[in-house]
Structure 1
Amino acid sequence: MSAQPAPDAGQPPPRNIWELTASAHRSMLLGGLVAFVGSALKIVPYVGLVEIARGLLSGAPAARLWGWVIAAVIAMMVHGVAYTGAVGANHRTEAGLRYQLRRRLVDKLKRVPLGWFNDRSSGVVRKAITSDTSSVHSLVAHLSGDLANTLGVVVVGFGYLLWLDARFAGALIAGWVLLLALCMLPSLRAMGRRFEDYSAAERELAAVTVEMVDGIKEVKNFGMTATVFGRFDAARKRHADVSMEWMNAAGIGMAIVGAAMQPATTLALTAGTGYWFVRMGWAQPLTVLAFALVWVGIPEGLQALVQIFQQVYAATQAARSTLDVLSTGELPEPDAPAEFTADRSLIELKNVSFSYEPGTPVIEDVSLTCRPGTVTALVGPSGGGKSTLAKLIARFWDVDSGSISVGGVDVRAQTNQQLMSSMSLVFQEVMTATDTVAGNIALGRPDATRDEIVAAARAARIHERIMTLPEGYDTTLGENAGFLSGGEAQRLTIARAFLAAPPILILDEATAQADAHSELEIQRAITGLAQGRTVVMIAHRLSTIRSADQIAVVDDGRITETGTHDELLAVGGQYAALWAAQNQTMAGVHDA
């Protein structure tokens, strides 16, 4: 079976909301037309009442009066069927569009640079895929149907009243337009300004909530409850304050307009104006009756229009995050895999420079060769660029200048799948899927047999712990590994790397958050995993990399020293100073 093409294959990303919802436009237009025609028929019963009253006063035959009754019943039935059918069809279209958008977003996330995720919390990404795509519901499922349903009544009702008495209708229209302008325009302008703040506060609250929930074990373990819960409380308070400001901005104007548009208020004002028109001889009593019946529904329709536009505005703002993700730049990728010209585990960096922001280099003119089957350790002060350098090898970002090659081929000339199949990445942050233990280990090799999975778990020294879980390898893990501690989840990640058996292994301080026992087990598992592979590891504990084939000291974006442990100690440079400082610290701990 051939692979399904990506939803975005060959398509430029949408530039605006109109292009984002393009596939639904035909359904929305047809649904709007049907709803408009159906809603226009809602005026028939009111016209019928006026004509029946006119007929009774003039002595018209009963058959003519019953004709209006039948017409009114048929009109309401047609209206109900038209509106329900139009909105129902648009709901089906919206469900399809939402599915399509989520597919496009997930496919997009596969193709954006891995470094893109470094700048965004999981809460923001999750919101873009789930709640923000759901906001399209108001745009597609309700905008055309509800808008047309309301407009039909308003437009046809206005038309009928203008036909009856243009002067009377003009007076009422002028009064309502003046009221709307005085009350609503300032409120709408204020709402527009406040909604930007509201959207930002909502994103911040989502991000800190995910941070708090996902890291609750670490938060409690390291006594960070005051800091993390403080950030959550601040975000919650900011969200509440901005929400109140947004509501207050619209509240006064909406309250006045809402009170004036109540049926009782509208009827009283219409009757009062009508009485004045009859007294002046400008209108007939039957005309006032028609206005009293029809006009009562028109302001209510206008109020519904305002609510529709509020919902659409909110949905449009939320959909912008979907647009932001879909318009994210992608790293260029060749159409076909490249042919390796050297051992697949050979890594070469030549005069590499990189910056997150133009003019602020993070890596400067770095050259380094990691030969097949060797261990290269990156050490140095925090913030010196070690993690960035390791991630550049995996092409989290493209270098500004110079080149990085794997297997003799520039990483930019390799497909993402080809490059990722050459290496396994084990970072401090552990990723587990909501799947069984076996499924998590086989994440990179879904066709692996149970025997292969168990062998990988044994090699990672996690098999015995798995067997104590409620259902062993069939135990379902949650997003944060569920039953497993941080160190145990880290060994699960190493088992995944064992099973994938890539020629290159990149380790970024994999034992940083483990306890002493887990650290020992992780080190033993890594030692087994590193055999026969090219390993690039970042380490702060220098004692763990004494036997590395090559140690590179990274400071301020440059490699200041390279060599073995003994060679660097003999030079007496920066590595020797780091080694002496750590030994002194450890001696102080033991003395204490």
Structure 2
Amino acid sequence: MIRMLLRVLGRDHARPVRRTVALMTVTAIAEGLSYALLVPVLRALFGGDPADDPADALPWLTAFGGAVAIYAVLRYLSDLFGFRAGTTLLRGMYHRLGDHLARLPLGWYGGGRVGEVSVLASQGVLETMGVIAHLLAPYISAFVTPVTIVGVMLAFNWQLGLAALVAVPLVAAVQIRTGRSMAAGDADRHERDTEATGRVIEYLQAQPVLRAGGRSVQRFALLDDALRELQRASRRTVLSVLPGMIGSTLVVQAVFTALLVLGAHLALGGSIGVAEVLTILVLAARCADPVLSLADMGGKLRSARSELTRLEALLRTEPLPEAPEPIQPVGHGLELESVAFRHGDRAVFDGLSLSVPEGRRLAVVGPSGAGKSTLLQLIARFHDVDAGAVRVGGVDVRAMSTETLMSRLAIVFQDVYLFDGTIEDNVRLGRPDATEAELRAAAGAARLDEVIERLPGGWAANVGEGGALLSGGERQRVSIARALLKDAPIVLLDEVTSALDPVNEAAVHEGVERLMAGRTVVMVAHRMRTVRRADRIAFLEGGRIVEEGTHDELLDRGGRYADFWHASLTPAAQD
């Protein structure tokens, strides 16, 4: 596990971990060696020779006290180093994880990724870094100290030491077997835990539907099943621990009994004295506690190792490659040439080609699932294409830096996410160094000033997590103001008015018109009446552009676009 931990931490943080592990190992050895001084102490006290004076034990007791004091200092330092290393590495791990997440393609964040990363970045990182601060020292001590004590026994009496040494492979075998049996149980429990968490969230989100159906007080079968499976998995996990705990206890008790019998036999035969037997039993008893604690610590370490494995898998996810010598684009035109792209097992595009001259507007329409939003994501390089090229200003997006590409794009999607902060904080994300006048101008152009005037707190009004304290239309106005403030030459729009009321729709349309003025625009249209603002329209279907032209040209052809247009004029579509 230490090797995996060092891989995850990276080279910059490997050295303090090695120093901490070395100090903890030295501390455990010092603890074991200090017990060697009990031999002359007990021999002086219980040697049985009339010539022995109990006062002779005083120097050895003093030496024993000194050894314990040295051990205490080492233990203090090792624990201190452990805590410091844990907190330092925790901060470093968060920085490394954050830097890595910032470099992953935006298309990677889909499905259950956000929840998975959220749990891993909180519970997972804390649990794995807590190993260094809380578990590493007692775990090393539980291994090294008993082995050192066994070495002391061997030096003192090879027969009794050899008998004690038998416990080492037996305990190791029990721990290995228990670990293997628990590994499958831990994985199953994690899977059931994830499933149950998802069902709890689903149950909470489904409350409006459940209550509308008159089922607000009834049990939710899917949630009950998930919790029942979690209970069974937890029971299996607990049961898988029992053999290891019982096995370790039996081994320790059996070895201690064997030492007692062997010591009595040797003492009766005159090979050793009673004091020596007593010393061996004291040392053996000191070995018992850390050995018995291995089962409990082993379970915690296995849990941390599981989190560490998931963390390592995340850090091994390859980010989009950056060009070693980035090229600066010239102009702001867009071009997609013979683009092929697969999402999982599904081919989204196959030989897609289109271009948008600088300063012109292209509307992309088509049936659901045609890949309209994916087209915008490829232009913004949320994903890399499998074949062909996406060019901005005549330069392949893979040949320019991410900062250069993002500085040329203003993106307004249908689903707007706002950070938990003030309205001003969220608008300034477009350009943090904007002046107060530029900020107010962008808000006015997006008609966000109307929202600010009626909100308590104005610009300082908190939007809540994800913008939950604002309506959908108000969130869109914040998003458009942010894009206007950024003042990027290329605008990507994913139908931003499809779920707005008439008042907000009119305000957002006005803001979008100002945002598009003089810029290169690609808009995905779900409402057909919005496409008339485009210079050109592309109809996307089956991963290809099947029709392209102006609104009037496409209507005259009577093809797929004309069918979509006429369908949008029906009363059902208008509703």
TM score, norm. by length of structure 2: 0.87
Mapped to 2, the partners of 1:326 and 1:88 lie a distance apart of 29
Which residue of 345, 348, 351 maps to 2:338? 351
Residues 165-180 of structure 1 aligned to structure 2 (within 5 Å): 165-174=157-166, 178=170
**Match status 1:425 vs 2:411:** yes
**Contact (CA 8 Å) 2:362, 2:536: kept in 1 or not?**
yes
Structure 1 residue aligned with 2:153: 161
**Contact (CA 8 Å) 2:248, 2:291: kept in 1 or not?**
no
Mapped to 2, the partners of 1:277 and 1:62 lie a distance apart of 24
Which residue of 422, 425, 429 maps to 1:439? 425
Q: Flag the 1:23–1:438 CA change in 2: closer, same or farther, 3 A.
A: farther
Structure 1 residue aligned with 2:321: 332
Residues 50-69 of structure 1 aligned to structure 2 (within 5 Å): 50-54=42-46, 57-69=49-61
Q: Flag the 1:414–1:515 CA change in 2: closer, same or farther, 3 A.
A: same
Structure 1 residue aligned with 2:124: 132
**Contact (CA 8 Å) 1:122, 1:207: kept in 2 or not?**
no
1:564 positional shift: 2.2
Structure 2 residue aligned with 1:11: none
Structure 1 residue aligned with 2:288: 299
| CA deviation profile, 1:539-558 (whole Å, cap 9, x unmatched) | 22212223322221111211
**Contact (CA 8 Å) 2:47, 2:274: kept in 1 or not?**
no
Mapped to 1, the partners of 2:131 and 2:308 lie a distance apart of 10
Mapped to 1, the partners of 2:317 and 2:3 lie a distance apart of 11
**Contact (CA 8 Å) 2:361, 2:521: kept in 1 or not?**
yes
1:177 positional shift: 5.2
**Match status 1:489 vs 2:475:** yes
Mapped to 1, the partners of 2:276 and 2:415 lie a distance apart of 75
1:446 positional shift: 1.0
Give the superposed CA RMSD.
3.5
**Contact (CA 8 Å) 1:55, 1:65: kept in 2 or not?**
no
Mapped to 2, the partners of 1:404 and 1:51 lie a distance apart of 85
Mapped to 2, the partners of 1:441 and 1:100 lie a distance apart of 30
| Secondary structure of the corresponding residue to residue 390 of structure 2 | strand
Letter in 2 for 1:392: L
| Secondary structure of the corresponding residue to residue 381 of structure 1 | coil
Structure 2 residue aligned with 1:558: 544
Structure 1 residue aligned with 2:304: 315
Mapped to 1, the partners of 2:95 and 2:394 lie a distance apart of 35
| Secondary structure of the corresponding residue to residue 78 of structure 2 | helix
Structure 2 residue aligned with 1:20: 8
| CA deviation profile, 1:345-389 (whole Å, cap 9, x unmatched) | x1111221111347x421011111222333222111111111111
| Secondary structure of the corresponding residue to residue 327 of structure 2 | coil
Structure 1 residue aligned with 2:64: 72
**Match status 1:467 vs 2:472:** no
| CA deviation profile, 1:467-488 (whole Å, cap 9, x unmatched) | 3334221234332214212331
| CA deviation profile, 1:432-476 (whole Å, cap 9, x unmatched) | 223322111011311112332222222222222223334221234
- What is the count of residue pairs matched by the alignment? 567
| Secondary structure of the corresponding residue to residue 149 of structure 1 | helix
Mapped to 2, the partners of 1:169 and 1:377 lie a distance apart of 84
| Secondary structure of the corresponding residue to residue 545 of structure 2 | strand
Mapped to 2, the partners of 1:314 and 1:99 lie a distance apart of 21
Residues 117-266 of structure 1 aligned to structure 2 (within 5 Å): 117-118=109-110, 120-142=112-134, 145-174=137-166, 178=170, 181=173, 184-202=175-193, 237-258=228-249
Letter in 2 for 1:403: A
Letter in 2 for 1:285: V
Percent identity, aligned pairs only? 32
Letter in 1 for 2:20: M
1:401 positional shift: 1.9
Letter in 2 for 1:472: G
Q: Flag the 1:529–1:91 CA change in 2: closer, same or farther, 3 A.
A: same
Q: Which deviates more from structure 2 when the two are superposed, residues 59-68 or residues 485-494?
A: 59-68
Which residue of 536, 556, 577 maps to 2:522? 536
**Contact (CA 8 Å) 2:89, 2:129: kept in 1 or not?**
no
Which residue of 60, 80, 85 maps to 1:88? 80
Q: Flag the 1:431–1:59 CA change in 2: closer, same or farther, 3 A.
A: farther
**Contact (CA 8 Å) 1:355, 1:400: kept in 2 or not?**
yes
Q: Flag the 1:499–1:237 CA change in 2: closer, same or farther, 3 A.
A: farther
What are the ranges of 5 or more consecutive residues in structure 2 without an aligned counterpart? Answer: none
Mapped to 1, the partners of 2:93 and 2:172 lie a distance apart of 37
| CA deviation profile, 1:209-233 (whole Å, cap 9, x unmatched) | 78888x799999999x99xx87776
Q: Flag the 1:443–1:200 CA change in 2: closer, same or farther, 3 A.
A: same
Mapped to 2, the partners of 1:479 and 1:143 lie a distance apart of 36
Mapped to 2, the partners of 1:19 and 1:566 lie a distance apart of 61
Mapped to 2, the partners of 1:23 and 1:179 lie a distance apart of 31
Structure 2 residue aligned with 1:372: 358
**Contact (CA 8 Å) 1:138, 1:311: kept in 2 or not?**
no
Letter in 2 for 1:331: L
Letter in 2 for 1:334: A
Structure 1 residue aligned with 2:500: 514
Letter in 2 for 1:187: T
1:492 positional shift: 1.0
Q: Which deviates more from structure 2 when the two are superposed, residues 78-87 or residues 310-319?
A: 310-319
**Contact (CA 8 Å) 1:127, 1:206: kept in 2 or not?**
no
Mapped to 1, the partners of 2:62 and 2:135 lie a distance apart of 31
1:167 positional shift: 2.8
**Contact (CA 8 Å) 1:41, 1:79: kept in 2 or not?**
no
**Contact (CA 8 Å) 2:494, 2:525: kept in 1 or not?**
yes
Q: Flag the 1:394–1:233 CA change in 2: closer, same or farther, 3 A.
A: farther
Mapped to 2, the partners of 1:241 and 1:511 lie a distance apart of 48
Which residue of 508, 512, 530 maps to 1:526? 512
Which residue of 274, 280, 289 maps to 2:278? 289
| Secondary structure of the corresponding residue to residue 507 of structure 1 | strand
Mapped to 2, the partners of 1:204 and 1:452 lie a distance apart of 48
1:392 positional shift: 0.7
**Contact (CA 8 Å) 2:492, 2:521: kept in 1 or not?**
yes
Mapped to 2, the partners of 1:464 and 1:385 lie a distance apart of 35
| CA deviation profile, 1:100-153 (whole Å, cap 9, x unmatched) | 222122122222222122355212222333332223324433565334433443
Q: Flag the 1:57–1:283 CA change in 2: closer, same or farther, 3 A.
A: closer
| Secondary structure of the corresponding residue to residue 47 of structure 1 | helix
What are the ranges of 5 or more consecutive residues in structure 1 without an aligned counterpart? Answer: 1-13
**Match status 1:112 vs 2:101:** no
| CA deviation profile, 1:152-199 (whole Å, cap 9, x unmatched) | 431232122233433334445546855774x54543221122233344
Mapped to 1, the partners of 2:164 and 2:325 lie a distance apart of 70
